[in-house]
Amino acid sequence: MAKKKQCTVTASSNRRKVLKGTDYLVNCIEVSGVDCVRYDNDIPAEYGIDQCIGDTIGPAGLFKGLRTIPVWLEILKDAEDLCPHAKVLNYTNPMSMLCLAAGRTSSMKVTGLCHSVQGTGHLLAQRAGIPYEEMDWECVGINHLAWFTKLEHKGKIYILY
């Protein structure tokens, strides 16, 4: 039986205060607030570029990256100083741009994560008529571009690559 460990989750607007000794750092930031996000889509639309949401790629993703990457790199510099062995989980878009920037400038170990995998897992379970909690699955890919390589339920294989 696995030994249970105590964990504490701390959120703060003063990151230096809480980073010291951190084992896992979860990055979920929106730089400049949500009011700014509408311009990410409106400005490209003025030039004929229609995007349903542009937080990942295209002009809107680039806009978001330009304002988010500098703040992200500041967070990583603080982490290098205060918790250099922490695992960093990034849930902020544009995922690939942030992970690329981290890989090129920081010694921190960063993993980019995307909620689309869990959402797709729930959808596949529903369509297969099986409880999500009983599925055994594996998935590979990058932000919003993931593929299920294994999907099983009680030994029955639905997908296996």
**What amino acid positions are annotated as catalytic residues?**
115
Element (H, E) at 151: strand 145-153
Give me the helix-helix angle, 37-46 and 58-82, nearest 10°.
Answer: 150
Are the CB atoms for 159 and 149 separated by under 8 Å?
Answer: yes
Strand partners, 136: 152
Residue type, 157: I
DSSP type of residue 5? -
Closest CA to 148 of 106, 72, 128: 128
> What tokens does 53 get?
């949401």
Are the CB atoms for 85 and 66 separated by under 8 Å?
Answer: no
